[in-house]
Amino acid sequence: MSSELLKDIPMEELIEQAQNGDEDAVNFLLQKYQPFIAKNVSEVCKRYIDPERDDEFSIGLSAFHEAIRMFSPDRGSSFLTFSSLVVKRKVIDYIRSQSKYPATISFDETYDEEKMENPTEVEAVKNIYQQEQEAWYRRQEILEFQKTLADYKLTLTDLAEVSPKHRDARDSAVRIARLIRDDKSLSEYVEHKKKLPIKELAKKVDVSKKTLERNRKFILAIFIILGGDYVFLNDYLKGVGQ
């Protein structure tokens, strides 16, 4: 099955297909969640991880594959929570097995703290490195978000232009997006049609059709964020529209 078709399948179903021997589902999951894997590996290694060059990433990728095989909804946690633990544990075990690594993992093997006599300098380097690393992950997340927006015929420029100016209006739009995401029927409609069910929504919310139409693009964008693995973008929505 092509990636275009697989991306519309809920994660739980993809995992079940992968566990049943669907190699297309396995490869799709391994490809899609590379940034997620790199992020978890990086958190263990305390440095930027290059998927093309770092052995630790290969260990993380293999661990993620193992997590797909081992996961069960009965465990009481989401797949991403479970896979994060598996990836981190495997990478830690790998690092401990490599004699070339010191017991305490440096934040970046290119820096030697013992040669830095000034503690302020050490802290500054750490902070700069962490900022660069987080910036890289944000860029990866935005690129993934842009791809999904394109499926809905939306762009980041669109969002900048249509984002509600007043906080009350933004909160209302986010609440509507949450309502859609939590309603299976509405959620499936939006994911399939790539548009809002304006008439149905008007029956469920205290907002006019005109307002729904005006905020349509913004609501769709929030709907996408809520349903995806957007760590940084979801941070912005915490406590909003609840």
**158, exposed or middle or buried, with CB in 10 Å at 0-12, 13-18, 19+?**
middle
pTM as predicted: 0.52
Lookup result for tokens 């990433």: 57
Cα 40 from chain centre: 12
Cα–Cα distance, 27 to 194 (Å, whole number): 25
pLDDT in tens, 50-79: 888 889 999 999 999 999 998 887 756 688
pLDDT of residue 197: 92
pLDDT at 101 over 60: no
The proportion of the chain whose per-residue pLDDT surpasses 70, expressed as a percent, equals 79
pLDDT of residue 78: 81
pLDDT in tens, 181-204: 999 999 999 999 999 999 989 999
pLDDT of residue 110: 41
- Domains of the chain, by residue range, sit at 33-118, 156-237
On whether the CB atoms of residues 219 and 211 are closer than 8 A, the answer is no
pLDDT of residue 3: 62
Cα 28 from chain centre: 15
Q: Residue 188 has which token pair?
A: 């499936």
Kindly report the average pLDDT of the chain as a whole number.
81
Arithmetic mean of pLDDT, 211-232: 89
